[in-house]
Structure formats: C-alpha cells, structure tokens
Amino acid sequence: MIQSMTGYGRVTVELPDKKVNVEIKSLNSKAMDISTRIAPVYREKEIEIRNEIAKALERGKVDLNLWIEKKDMEQLATPINQELIEAYYNRIKSIVAATGIPEPDDWFSNLLRLPDVMTKNDTLELTEEEWEVVHRALGTAIEHLVDFRKQEGAALDKKFREKIANISRLLTDVAPYEKERVDKIKDRISDALEKTLSIDYDKNRLEQELIYYIEKLDINEEKQRLSNHLKYFISTLDNGSGQGKKLGFIAQEMGREINTLGSKSNHAEMQKIVVQMKDELEQIKEQVLNVM
C-alpha cells in the first residue's frame, strides 16, 4: 500500500518532576527536510534523533517539537541569589559611607538589576534512564505518524484507482466516434468540392488523399500507449510505498497521450471526452505529489 507524506504523531510521557512532549508532523516534499525544536537538555541527541526520523520516514518536510513541562511551578520561577544581594547591599553601604553618595531610594529594584542576582540554573545533565524513556516516546510518535500516513495512503490509493478507471472508461467511449469521424471528414471534403467549388474531381485520387489525411489523424497508437500507462500506474500502486516519483512520471506520460488525442480528435464529442480525461488526470497529478 502506498503512503502519503502527510502525517502527525504526538506522545507525552510522565517523569517524576516533569512531562516530556514529543510532537512530529510531516508534509509533502521532494526530499527529506527535517526541522527541529528540541529542549536544551536533549540537544546532545539531535543527530541521533534526525537519523532515526530520516530512516523511518524517507521523504517529506518533517517538523519535530520536543519540549518539557515542569510539574512544580516553583521550578519555573527564576531563582534570586539572596547571598549575592546581601553582598551587593553591604558593598554599596560601605561605598556610601566612604564617599558620601546618597543611598538609593528603592534598594530592592536596584539590587535586582545587578549582575547574576537573578539566574536560571537549569541542569543540562541527561541521564541514560531519562533518555531511554524519551527515546521510546520519540519512536512511538514516529509510529503514530507512519500509521497516519498509511491511512492517508489508503484513501489516495482508492481515489487513484477510481480516476484511472474513469480515464479507462472514457478511452473506450472514444471508439464509436472514430468511424463516424472518418465519414464526416469524407463527406465534408466531398461537399466542398461539389457544392462550393462546383468542380469535377478524380474520386480515386480523393480516396488516396483521404487515406493519407486520415492516417495523420489515426489515434490507435495513442490509445494503446495510454491504455498501457493506465495499467502500469495500477501495477505501480500495487508495489506499495516509495512509488510517488514513479507515479508522477507515469502521470506525465499519460498527459502527453491525452493531449495528442485531443489534437488529433477533430470531432466535437471526442474533444469533450478528452477534456473529461484531462480533468481526471489533473486530480491525479495534484494528489500524486503527496505520495511518498
């Protein structure tokens, strides 16, 4: 079964002092394109994370967000260094006494602005036990994304088969108009010679010229090639994932044959059928960009 490049997965794990969230999503892209936002404590594992994502997902524009939520709100508050504030206070008091400079009107706000009084001392040490839990969460999030891709791929597979069946049906609808087209061309030329130009003509020569002209408009080869492309598209779908680029190439070839059918049709009803074929094919081309 083919897979879509669109997917989403999210996992949250509980640790004693925090919750770790892993969110990963992907969209279509010609190659693997990974963007990450990783909490500082886990950044040492970024290369390993990227390699794991690339191996599992193969293609797509992938966004990974790995962040931490503290359980204890006091841990989120920036600590105030009380000992350093006292040291600054005593030093300023001694300078005031020695120089006679007036004391500050608002001691507290001035002291808080001094260097290193307010510091955030997050630990950046990652234990093996914590990484094992987070690594499992990452793997589970990737699995959820892959499952999402498979569900989307199943929907795409169904849609592609419907569109290919529609084009195949339209191709068979062309057949009744082919002989009618030849007769109309012959009658139109004969009428032009007899009624409009009012001249005698060599009917055998006319038949030869008509044969030459009709051969130029013959669409049997185009019909056969288009039929082969339709079968090849279905067999490629049956081959499973990783076929997106190939399906795109086949759709391009189908487009060439349909365009040639349109240019050779020379018949109003056939041209309507060709327009319907193009509409079905455009829908395939739009969606095939999402196939991995």
Could you give the CA distance from residue 231 to residue 4 in angstroms, rounded to a whole number? 21
pTM passes above 0.85: no
Interval 171-208: pLDDT, tens = 999 888 877 776 777 667 666 666 655 556 566 666 66
The residue that leads in pLDDT, 78 or 247, is 247
How high is the pLDDT of residue 81?
78
Region 19-38 average pLDDT: 94
Token pair listed for 76: 């989120």
Of 221, 226, 215, nearest to 274 by C-alpha is: 226
**β-strand pairing of 32-38 with 60-70:** parallel
Structural element, H or E, at residue 255:
helix 244-265
Task: Give DSSP secondary structure letters for 194-215.
Answer: IIIS-----HHHHHHHHHHHHH
Q: Please name each of the domains of the chain with its CATH number.
A: 7-73+125-150 (3.30.230), 79-112 (no CATH), 152-288 (no CATH)
First to last CA, the chain: 11
Interval 235-273: pLDDT, tens = 999 987 778 899 999 999 999 999 999 888 878 888 999
Interval 144-159: pLDDT, tens = 999 999 999 999 999 9
Interval 97-128: pLDDT, tens = 888 888 887 877 878 778 877 765 555 588 99
